[in-house]
Each structure stands twice: as C-alpha cells, then as structure tokens.
Amino acid sequence: MTFTPIHTDRLIIRKFRTDDYIELYAYLSKESVVRYEPYDPYTLEQARREAEYRSNSEDFFAVTLKDGSLIGNLYLSPREFDCMELGYVFDNKWQMNGYATESARAILNYGFGTLRAHRITAECDPENVRSIKLMKRLGMRREAEFKQNVYFKRNPDGSPIWRDTVQYAILKSEWEKLK
C-alpha cells in the first residue's frame, strides 16, 4: 500500500529510504538509545542494510523535522484480530521536545483510521520510564506485566538475562474519545 507522508505541526512522517542509513546510524549506534532494544548498537554496515530493509517494509516510518533531518522512527505492525503493535526510537539529541508524542499520535490516527485497527498495543521494559510516560501520554492503558518473558542479552556463561515487560494498549473507541 502506498504511504502518503503525514505532516504534523513540526514533523514529517514518511517511508524510509535507502539513503537514510547515515542518519539512522547516527542514533542506532548509540548505546544510550538502543539500551532497551533487542539489539546491540549498530555498525554503519548494519545501518545500511537496515535502511534498505525498512525502505521495503510497511511497518517502519521515518520521522523528520521539516528541514528533512531524520530524528527517529516509528513502528506500526499488524497483529491478529485487527490489532497493531506500536514502537518508537528517537535520537537522544532530539528527545524531550514532544516529537515522539506528536509523531506517535499521528501514527495512531493513521492506524485507527486508514488501517482500521481495532486495538493498538505497545510493550517495554518496566525500567524504561520515558517509554512508559509516552504510552500514558498517548492515552494507553497498562494491561499487563509479564515476568521474565524476554531476553535480548546473555551472561558470560551463555545463560539468558531474563527481563520483564509491561504492556499498554488503547482501543479505537478510547482513541476516538480523546480526539
């Protein structure tokens, strides 16, 4: 499906392009940014492959300032039963400006509107305070805390480092009431 870029007050949300890789590398290479992500900081070559993958994916969206600078990305991916999963990663250089909130609101609107989602969920580590604040700001409700349900890293002896996750969700009917 062709995605028409979304313009918000301060931002543009568009599909990724292969030539985004240098700006993608600028934030995915930072330990502080990917700390809660299921991957290690990216190399430039990994970022090049990732930009290529994302440019062919319907699930990843680049977020830019009006001058075209890439500041982060959103993820909105279909799940069973008209449900979608939301994700977001922003360069720490551009965090704490309301950009994640502004763009995530726009992508929720797109998910519930154009993509006709019934329910949108997001999940994160309980220690990821910024992500939890963002989910709440978007009007999402806490639905669950899963104990030791994921591991992204291993101990030196090879055993998994288990982490908990918290899940938040919002229904289309709840979203409509917020508008």
Q: Which residues bind ligand COA (CB under 6 A)?
A: 33, 36, 88-90, 95-101, 124, 128, 130-131, 133-134
Structure tokens that stand for 166 in this block: 């918290």
Question: Cβ-closest residue to ligand COA?
Answer: 98
Structure tokens that stand for 113 in this block: 């509107």
**Of 153, 127, 170, nearest in space to 41 by CA:** 153
* Least CB distance to ligand COA at residue 124 (A): 3
* Least CB distance to ligand COA at residue 1 (A): 25
Contacting residues for 74 by C-beta, under 8 A, at least 6 apart: 13, 60, 61, 63, 86, 87, 88, 103, 104, 107
Task: Name the residue nearer to ligand COA (CB basis): 52 or 94.
Answer: 94
* Least CB distance to ligand COA at residue 28 (A): 10
Task: Name the residue nearer to ligand COA (CB basis): 21 or 88.
Answer: 88
Task: Name the residue nearer to ligand COA (CB basis): 116 or 153.
Answer: 153
State the pairing for strand pair 11-14/6-7: antiparallel
